[in-house]
Structure 1
Amino acid sequence: MRKLDQRGVAALEFCIVAVPLFTLIFAIIDFGRYAITMQSLRALADAGARANIIQCYTPAVIAGTSPSACTTDYLSDTQKQAAAPFLYNSSVGLSPTVTTTAGASALTVTASSPNFQMMMSVWGTSFNAPSASTQIPF
């Protein structure tokens, strides 16, 4: 019986295994970036809500009057960088924004990162421009 030529089989097997392996590795890295960004945005929104409560809540607000004048951002850039250092890393370049809006029964502090994009385009745009919000009831 003649022995078959086995040269190149290892290279072919590597090619078959490498594509799903590297796709999985890049997906883990991509979702890790997304998770860190979301956690940083939550921390930034919480810090904005905390600063809003400290600076703006007065006895009139606590009594149930709408705090419509409390929609300014009370965090300085240094406080934002301390609350979410990953977002302000110069190599990441995300430049997040913090906005406060007054609703019927709560103030909503929203931190968003409009420049964030997933590395792999297979996810579409559903994970791009993440945002996190915190509500302050009054």
Structure 2
Amino acid sequence: MRRLDQRGAAAFEFCIVAMAIFTLIFALADLGRYAITMQSLRSIAGAGARAAMINTCYTDAAMKITTTVTCSGDYTTDTQKRALAPFLYDRGFTLTVNTVTGTSFVTVTASVTGFTMLFPTVWGTSFNNPSVTTQIPLPN
């Protein structure tokens, strides 16, 4: 009985396994980029919340100097943002921080535009342009 030629079988098997392994590695790297971005945004939102509490709009109400709290805008400096999130600035993303006063909370939102996942066909667009919100309860 004649033996079948097995040349190239190992190369073909490697191609099949390598595609799955490289896809997994790149997907993990992509999710890692997203996790770093979200953590940077959490740090910036926390710094914005601390800066809003130190600002007179919140402390005057906490010390009962005024009865209304009207915080709006961005209370963090560009230097503070760069120190907290160098990853976002090195990649050229647009970072925005906004503070809004609600009925019982001061809400600080940090968001980044220009961030897209490397595999949009796998993840879709739900991870693009992430944002994080932090709330500070208003003083009674």
Greater share of residues in helix: 2
Match of 2:88 in 1: 87
State the AA in 2 paired with 1:33.
R
| Runs of 4+ residues deviating >6 angstroms | none
1:36 aligns with 2:36: yes
State the AA in 1 paired with 2:67.
T
Equivalent residues, number: 135
Q: Any conservation in 1 of the 2:107–2:133 contact (CA below 8 Å)?
A: yes
Output the aligned Cα RMSD.
1.5
- SS of the residue corresponding to residue 127 of structure 2 reads coil
Q: Percent identity?
A: 61
State the AA in 1 paired with 2:25.
I
Greater share of residues in strand: 2
**Runs (5+) with no aligned partner, structure 1:** none
Match of 2:119 in 1: 120
CA displacement, residues 17-54 of structure 1 (integer Å, 9 cap, x when unaligned): 11111110110000000000000000000000111111
- Once the two structures are TM-superposed, the CA of residue 125 in structure 1 deviates from its matched residue by 0.6
- Once the two structures are TM-superposed, the CA of residue 2 in structure 1 deviates from its matched residue by 2.3
CA displacement, residues 83-125 of structure 1 (integer Å, 9 cap, x when unaligned): 2221111xx1112110111111011000001211000012111
Q: Any conservation in 1 of the 2:72–2:101 contact (CA below 8 Å)?
A: yes
- Once the two structures are TM-superposed, the CA of residue 65 in structure 1 deviates from its matched residue by 3.0
1:55 aligns with 2:32: no
**Runs (5+) with no aligned partner, structure 2:** none
TM-score of the pair, normalised by structure 2? 0.89
- Once the two structures are TM-superposed, the CA of residue 72 in structure 1 deviates from its matched residue by 2.2
TM-score of the pair, normalised by structure 1? 0.91
